[in-house]
Amino acid sequence: MKISLPLTLVSVIMSAIVLQNSAANEDSMTPAERTVARVARDYIAIRFPYFDNVKNSPVIHDRGDSWEVEYELPKAAIGGTPVVVIDKATLKVLRSFHTQ
């Protein structure tokens, strides 16, 4: 199987952009938010394995006694994301669902 150089180059550049955006997003989080994002990421990897939580940045909402984690989608995307609700005191997942 022969892969063209331009296609390979585009793939490498896109991977670098995704990783850079992911790192930049995590740098802007508080330590608590980073922990919550990791809990949600691990949960999603098992319950929603088809969802790419590396490419889609987490959006974390403080809901009082819990955190609600959803994910940004590209502007042109049609669809939804997993939403994970995590207890602040125990960091256990209280519930999850997928939006449409």
Start-to-end CA distance of the chain, whole Å, equals 37
Taking a C-beta distance cutoff of 8 angstroms, is the pair 94, 86 a contact? Answer: yes
Predicted local distance difference test score (pLDDT) of residue 63: 97
CB count within 10 Å of CB 60 equals 19
Domain that holds residue 56: 5-98
Say how many domains are in the chain: 1
Q: What are φ and ψ of residue 28, in 5° steps?
A: -85, 0
Domain with residue 48: its CATH number is: 3.10.450
Confidence of residue 22 (pLDDT cuts 50, 70, 90): very low
Ordered DSSP codes for 17-81:
HHHHHHHHHHHTS-HHHHHHHHHHHHHHHHH-TTS-TTTS-EEEEE-SSEEEEEE---TT--S--
pLDDT (tens digit per residue) in 42-93: 999 999 999 988 889 999 999 999 999 999 988 888 888 999 999 999 999 9
Looking at this protein, which amino acid is placed at residue 55? K
